[in-house]
Chain A
């Protein structure tokens, strides 16, 4: 009987011990295997991302970003629009004026609290404005056809032509004044890059073609008025350039 009891106790101890010891060991092993799988996946993702990033032509991407910023800016391009329009009109020898700009708020809308409209940084925003150019009819048409390929990106909404030629002089070229309503677009740049493990999307062939069209836009340099501000050193006579005595 005693032997039987000992045997039973040995079996029970074996079962209990296997439950007590095996449970945690298997649990830990399972956990480590899951972590291993996750790390492997992360490593493969990072390897791919590094390959993609190393494959990007740095010079080309710099040029594209600069051109994109000129053509499809991240901030309201009020100065750039006025500069481009006046330069384009001057290039064609047209008079330029009658600007009716509706720029809205000059402050960045995203910063305004409770403004749900602009919470998403990737939202496409626009400003509308009107202006007048004057000159002969064919030049105005050339101006109109070039306007949509001038940076920043603009869309002609409405064109009204007024004939200004004096009917008494038949030989005179048809002088017109074109009232043009235009909408320009801009879109804020993304604020966050995302986690380092997040994959980088490559550009498709179609997207590459779209980006190549960026270089077909005419750029005019916008000149901003520069005024000296702050305190000037009244006692600076250029002596700092002299050698120390």
Chain B
């Protein structure tokens, strides 16, 4: 029986050559893909660059238009910078007006005020004189009665009551006001 070893060798060689051809093909295809990718990315980059230039042009245009309205902008900024503090001051002023309303609403006609002091916490000291006892009772009654819609009187106390040389009744009272309700 004859054994032909050449056939096996030839087959192996052919297989190897086939693999090499395939490998070369893969390498060449790879090169082409890489070249294509580079070309594609570069083109994309150019498109983005053009778009950026377009955006820059538009931005310059908008900036020019905004610069023409700079006066309006500066006035708006001015108002916004001041409005916070101004609003706070107006609130304080409203509080003061409520204090004044509360104080003047408790004073009956014919009362003469000599001293009137208000502090930030809403504590008020009042001193003056009334011509008669009924007027003093009226004053105390009004202090006891809660006043709706104004600063509420949370507490009050009489510091002094005396007669003066004109037979009037001098008084000195303090009031503590609360600002719970807001209008």
Which A residues are within 8 Å of any B CB, using their own CB? 3-4, 7, 10-11, 14, 17-18, 21-22, 25-26, 28-29, 32-33, 35-36, 39-40, 42-43, 46-47, 49-50, 53-54, 56, 58, 61-62, 64-65, 68, 71-72, 122, 124, 137, 141, 144-145, 148, 153, 155-156, 158-163, 167, 174, 176, 185, 187, 189-190, 193-194, 196, 200-201, 203, 207, 210-211, 213
B-side interface mostly = helix
Bound complex: CA A187 to CA B37 (Å): 62
Contact B115 A7 (CB under 8 A): no
Q: Determine the chain A residues whose CB is within 8 A of the CB of B182 once the complex forms.
A: none
With a cutoff of 8 Å between Cβ atoms, the chain B residues found around residue A155 in the complex are 89, 92-93, 96
CB neighbours (8 Å) of B27 from chain A are 7, 10-11, 14
Contacts of A185 in B (CB 8 A): 85, 89
Q: Give the chain A neighbours of B55 by CB distance below 8 A.
A: 36, 39-40, 42-43
Which of A36, A56, A211 has a CB less than 8 Å from the CB of B83?
A: A211
Pairwise interchain contact B115-A153, C-beta atoms closer than 8 A: no
Partner of B100, one of A11, A144, A162: A144
Stretch at the interface among B4-12, B41-49, B138-146, B150-158: B41-49
| Beta-carbon contact of B82 and A161 below 8 Å | no
Q: Is B49's CB under 8 angstroms from A32's CB?
A: yes
B73 at the interface (CB under 8 A from A): yes
Known: A39-B56, A46-B63. A210 touches B87 (CB 8 A): yes
The size bracket of the interface on B is 35 or more
Tell me, in angstroms, the Cα distance from A7 to B73 when the chains sit together. 69
Name the 8 nearest CB pairs between A and B, nearest first: A39-B55, A46-B62, A53-B69, A32-B48, A124-B85, A190-B81, A210-B87, A10-B27
B113-142 vs A, Cβ < 8 Å mask (1 yes, 0 no): 111111000000000000000000000000
Complex contact B73–A200 (CB within 8 A): yes
Task: Check if B70 is an interface residue, CB within 8 A of chain A.
Answer: yes
Please state if A29 and B66 are interface contacts (CB–CB under 8 Å): no
Complex formed: what's the CA distance from A155 to B38 in Å? 74
On chain A, the residues within 8 Å of B76 by CB distance are 53, 56, 61, 200-201
Q: Point out the residues of chain B lying under 8 angstroms from A193, CB to CB.
A: 70, 73-74, 77
B20's nearest neighbour on chain A, judged by CB, is A3
Q: Can you name 12 extra interface pairs (CB under 8 A) apart from A46-B63, A207-B83, A210-B83?
A: A7-B27, A29-B41, A39-B55, A42-B59, A50-B69, A72-B82, A153-B86, A161-B113, A190-B81, A196-B67, A200-B73, A210-B86
